[in-house]
Amino acid sequence: MRITQLKLKNWRNFKSVDVSLKDRIFIIGPNASGKSNFLDVFRFLRDVAKPSGGGLQEAVAKRGGMPKLRCLAARQDTEITIEVTLQNGEEKPWIYTLSYKAEPRGFRRTLISKEKVRFGKKLLVSRPDEKDKEDDERLTQTYLEQINANVEFREIAKYFQSTTYLHIVPQLLKYGDQIGGFTIEDDPFGQGFLDVVAKTVKKTRDARLKKIAQALQKTVPQLKELKFDRDNATGRPHLEARCDHWRLKAGWQREDLFSDGTLRLIGFLWSLLEGNSLLLLEEPELSLHEEIVRNIPYMIYGIHKQRKTRRQILISTHSEALLSGKSIDGHEVLRLKPSPEGTTIIGLSYEEEIMLKSGLSPAEVLMPETKPPDLTQLELF
């Protein structure tokens, strides 16, 4: 399954969006242009579709309620709409549409104003339906979140549920013990990464660690082998890396000695090897040398080559190095441009198409556009 198209209305700083999505997408734009907000659309759908503790009300509340979610640039129109087109191979496309707004009076509940599910030409759901008209309390819940109501489109509910968002903060992973047990739901910062590795069947786990060690060969050449281990005394899971070392026997290091960049790469490569659903990745360039960042698209390619199915991957980035490869197609880059009327996604101009075709990289052609205007030198005082 793939998400091939996304339409948004009044979602956070996007007043109106209509974009097609490739299997690999790089989202670029200045700070606060909405890259994370764009990724949050898919986390939101995951939260709505979640089998336990999920649902529309919870997903909206978790984000601070409708006033925080609805685009500030929206004037009369108070409705938020998300429309996603999904495609499984050559099958007919699915289209899932959800619109909702705050009740104008009373409890100001978040109510669904439209929920539609289409499979090819067939309309499977069209709400509000007759039952909704009899009892408007029903409009507080999507059919997507109800197992009794989503039977005919369970496939897409499951796809939304299994979306992964990854923004590994190495310190949280390394010093989990000292920080204490609190982990944010769905673990976006990778605190529970070692537990995920621990829960994976040994054969799969060993095979993945071997592939990751291979993929890392070029970037961290001193790292020769990766293995999983459990501390005998505490039972805590650990990763160990065998490194080139002048004292051969002392060559195994635990994750707390890994560099931040190595840990982020391991988490990222693991997620590429795990599952077939949508992968949302925030700024993979952090803590990494530019030359390594330049190689990330090749690492993704290398891992994908070894798998029958590939994960669709949406990456937010500020890195010119990441987009400097000739293998990246300009249509794989979404360029965000903020304005007082909301952020828009700007497509390729005719000139830009020509420049890309003539061999310039997306970093050279598209990145300069995302630099904040009038930023010369920040004054010191």
Ligand X SMILES: Nc1ncnc2c1ncn2[C@@H]1O[C@H](COP(=O)(O)OP(=O)(O)OP(=O)(O)O)[C@@H](O)[C@H]1O
Residues making contact with ligand X (CB under 6 A): 12-13, 29, 31-37, 68-72
Of 35-43, 103-111, 318-326, 327-335, which part binds Mg ion (CB under 5 A)?
35-43
Distance CA 12, CA 16 (A): 10
Sign of torsion over alpha carbons 198, 168, 158, 20:
negative
Closer to ligand X at the Cβ: 83 or 285? Answer: 285
Of 17-25, 27-35, 43-51, 188-196, the window that binds Mg ion (rule: CB under 5 A) is 27-35
Residue 276 interacts with Mg ion (CB under 5 A): yes or no: no
Across the beta sheet with 122-127, the strand order is: 14-20, 2-11, 80-87, 94-102, 110-119, 122-127
The dihedrals phi and psi of 257, each to the nearest 5 degrees, come to -100, -5
36 part of the interface to Mg ion, by CB under 5 A: yes
Q: How far is the CB of 286 from Mg ion (least distance, A)?
A: 11
**Choice between 211 and 264, CB closer to Mg ion:** 264
Cβ closer to ligand X: 33 or 99? Answer: 33
Contact 367, 323 (CB under 8 A): yes
From the list ligand X, Mg ion, none, pick the one residue 29 interacts with, judged by a Cβ distance below 5 to 8 Å according to partner type.
Answer: ligand X
Q: What is the SS3 assignment for 217?
A: coil
Residue 343 CB, shortest distance to ligand X, in Å, is 8
Looking at 30-38, 60-68, 101-109, 240-248, which segment touches Mg ion (CB under 5 A)? 30-38
Contact present, 153 and 95 (Cβ < 8 Å): no
Distant-in-sequence contacts of 109-113, Cβ < 8 A, 24+ apart = 109/57, 109/140, 110/56, 110/57, 110/60, 110/65, 110/66, 110/140, 111/136, 111/139, 111/140, 112/56, 112/139, 112/140, 112/141, 112/142, 113/79, 113/139
Q: Say which entry of ligand X, Mg ion, none residue 72 contacts (CB below 5 to 8 A, set by partner kind).
A: ligand X
Nearer to ligand X, 67 or 235 (CB): 67
Least distance from C-beta 181 to ligand X, angstroms?
A: 28
| Shortest reach from residue 118's CB to ligand X, in Å | 28
Task: Give the CA angle between residues 330, 339, 355 to the nearest 5°.
Answer: 25
Residue 116 is which amino acid? K
Binding partner selected for residue 70 from ligand X, Mg ion, none, CB under the kind-specific 5 to 8 Å limit: ligand X
Q: Give which of Mg ion, ligand X, none residue 32 binds (C-beta under 5 to 8 Å, depending on kind).
A: ligand X
318 is an interface residue for Mg ion by CB under 5 A: no
Part of the chain binding Mg ion (CB under 5 A), chosen from 31-39, 119-127, 178-186, 271-279: 31-39
CB of 167 to Mg ion, least distance (A): 9
Residue 151 tokens read as 């039977």
Q: Measure the N-to-C terminal CA separation of the chain; round to a whole number of Å.
A: 53
Q: What residues make contact with Mg ion under the rule CB under 5 A? A: 35-36
